[in-house]
Amino acid sequence: MSELIYLASQSPRRSQLLDQLGVRHTLLLPNVEGDAPEDAEAIEAALPGEAPANYVERVTALKLDAAVLRQARRGLPAAPILCADTTVTMGATLYGKPADAQDARRILAELSGRTHRVLTAIALQAGAQRWAALSVSHVTFAELSPEQIAAYVDTGEPLGKAGAYGIQGRAAALITHLSGSYSGIMGLPLYETAQLLRAAGFAL
């Protein structure tokens, strides 16, 4: 079994979490110079009426499909490929990455004083075999004033993050309760990731 894996994610937090497990990895990212362009937005589009868990698992599988093709197209050495996707949901509403600061303020206002779910799906492919898992966590925000929301959004931290917040950053001061996987809320549930890697033959 290869001692190295490909991480098909642009999230620095996922890379840091793999480092925490002691897993050597290299990034396998789309749209590098000289490569065929990939439409990430099309992959992440939700289907009408799609349940949040089905959405995040489907998107993760599509990301992994794209990464497998990317590896083959570039003629890269064989190694397992890991993909993940995180979404924040309250009821049937999906909260992805905010489009801009105004959108981030809207999302945080809707999450204020309420409990939402954070779903992170992971998938690992090694050769023809594929393993997948889903982490579900619950996060409760304090009642946030418009001034608190604006101040947090002004830090720039909410942009690029599902649900418009990063639990490992300043948003930790806004959260009253969480249950589930802290690393899953960050974007890569370490328990489930370790299970998948062991199934693929890694000794962790």
Chain segment 161-189, per-residue pLDDT in tens: 999 999 999 999 999 999 999 999 999 99
Strands, E, within 13-106: which ranges?
A: 24-27, 81-90, 93-95
Structure tokens at 109: 């206002």
The pLDDT score that the predictor gives to residue 89 is: 97
User: pLDDT at position 39, please?
Assistant: 73
Tokens for 41, please give them.
């937005």
Mean pLDDT calculated for residue range 124-140 = 97
Mean pLDDT for 11-36 is 88
pLDDT at 1 over 60: no
DSSP 8-state class, residue 78: P
Query: Per-residue confidence at 58, pLDDT binned at 50, 70, 90?
Result: very high
12 Cβ contact partners less than 8 Å away, ≥ 6 residues apart = none
Residue 81's DSSP bridge partners are 6, 125
Task: State yes or no: is 154 an active-site residue.
Answer: no
Write down the catalytic residue from 35, 39, 65, 85.
85
Instruction: Quote the mean pLDDT of the chain.
Output: 93
Mean local confidence (pLDDT), 14-40: 85
Per-residue pLDDT band at 33 (split at 50, 70, 90): low
pLDDT mean over 125-136: 96
* Rounded mean pLDDT, 135-148: 98
